[in-house]
Amino acid sequence: MKKDVISLVRPNIASLEPYSTARDEYKGELGVLLDANENPFAGKGINRYPSTSVKEALRSRISSIKGVPSGNIFLGNGSDEAIDLCYRIFCRPGIDNAVSISPSYGMYGVCADVNDVEFRPVLLGEDFSLPADEIIAACDSRTRLVFICSPNNPTANAFPLESILKVVDSVEAVVVVDEAYVDFSSAGSLLPVLGSHRNLIILQTLSKAYGLAGLRVGLAFACEDVIRIFRQVKYPYNIGTDTLELAIRCLDGSNALSEIETLVAERNRLEEILREEKCILKVYPSDANFLLVKVTDPAGLYKELLGAGVIVRDRSRVTLCGGCLRLTVGTHEENEKLIEVIRAYGK
């Protein structure tokens, strides 16, 4: 990429005067707080707006886990906030466009529609491989964003890092690599090369491997200049105090590594068993915590599973995923129930 990433920022965003609170401006120890029109009675323990110090504590904890400096980390209300911010920061409505692989996570396209940005999907290969050259060819002078989800949802496969970096190095746009499922993959993360690619934004989350989906904490990693703009454009107090504090406590007592190991083992076991079932035509290789499986009768099996109280995702109408269901890997007992219903249906 020849341009500096800041040159891709929308002019009105580059000149934005960010919202600032009195507490942001005050550098001393907080004393009598009469600036934010809060209820002063502290019986509930959450009468004050979230403090910067609590967010900094969580960012510091993420920094130590991921090996990335705090200045390169943005904390969002789920990864969806970061996706939307990418559009609001880089894409001029009705003028610029975004390129994405297809099939992939649906919110890339939804956020494009919400922000009035042309969305250009590029089909994966028939084997779900990354079409790096086609992605590069789909970009033009008005392309501001390229989305690549790896491991990808719903196809479950991770792409070679060198193929993703080929796109990063070849386009005059910001490349957003969504690594929500990277903890379940042996393919590796792009975090180690973040510092040498200013047009790279990496998304991760505490929802999957860390089991904190109910807290809605998303992570964006980028160069400090981009992170600074993220913080300027986001709405004030985007994550609540209770969420921030609970996330810190959960990370401090996390069993994520052992849980990831268990889920990967269960994924591999499930894949092996399902390959032998009569109603399963194909189990696609997975680098995530779910399996994409092609079945003989997706509507029928989906209905059968629902009737047994097993909720999966019907992806049979998604491009390149005809006849497929997406199965999240659960506990051993949950997976046994899934196998039982599929086995009975295939008899």
Transcribe 129-187 into DSSP letters: ---HHHHHHH--TTEEEEEEESS-TTT-PPPPHHHHHHHHHH-SSEEEEE-TTGGG-SS
Q: Is the pLDDT of residue 30 over 80?
A: no
Categorize the per-residue pLDDT at 33 as very low, low, confident or very high, splitting at 50, 70 and 90: confident
Q: Which domains does the chain have, with CATH numbers?
A: 5-252 (3.40.640.10), 256-345 (3.90.1150.10)
Per residue in 194-250, pLDDT (tens digit) is: 999 999 999 999 999 999 999 999 999 999 999 999 999 999 999 999 999 999 999
pLDDT value of residue 46: 86
**Measured between alpha carbons, how far is 322 from 324 in angstroms, rounded to an integer?**
6
Task: Return all residues near 164 (Cβ < 8 A) that are at least 6 apart.
Answer: 130, 132, 148, 150, 175, 177, 190
| Model confidence, pTM | 0.96
In the three-class reduction of DSSP (H, G, I as helix; E, B as strand; rest coil), residue 75 is classed as strand
Residue 249, classified by CB atoms within 10 Å of its CB into exposed (0-12), middle (13-18) or buried (19+), is: exposed
How many residues are given for the chain? Answer: 347
Laid out side by side, the sheet with 143-149 consists of: 73-77, 217-221, 200-205, 174-178, 143-149, 97-102, 118-123
CA proximity to 294, closest of 137, 126, 135, 174: 126
140 by DSSP, 3-state: which?
Answer: coil
Q: Which helix (H) or strand (E) holds 281?
A: strand 280-283
**Which positions ≥6 away from 307 have C-beta within 8 Å?**
none
Give the pLDDT band of residue 330 (cuts 50, 70, 90): very high
pLDDT at 315 over 80: yes
pLDDT band at 309 (very low <50, low <70, confident <90, very high): very high
Token pair 């990693």 is at which residue? 221
DSSP-derived secondary structure letter, 201 = E
More confident residue, 46 or 267: 267
Tell whether the model's pLDDT for residue 6 goes beyond 90: yes
Taking a C-beta distance cutoff of 8 angstroms, is the pair 184, 151 a contact? yes
Lowest mean pLDDT among 32-46, 70-84, 159-173, 273-287: 32-46
281, 323 contact by CB (below 8 A): yes
Residue range 73-88: average pLDDT? 97
pLDDT tens, position by position, 111-146: 999 999 999 999 999 999 999 999 999 999 999 999
Tell me: cis bond preceding 103? Omega within 30 of 0 counts: yes
pLDDT at 134: 98
Name the more confident of 155 and 49.
155
Distances (CA, A) of 140 to 98, 148, 332: 10, 17, 48
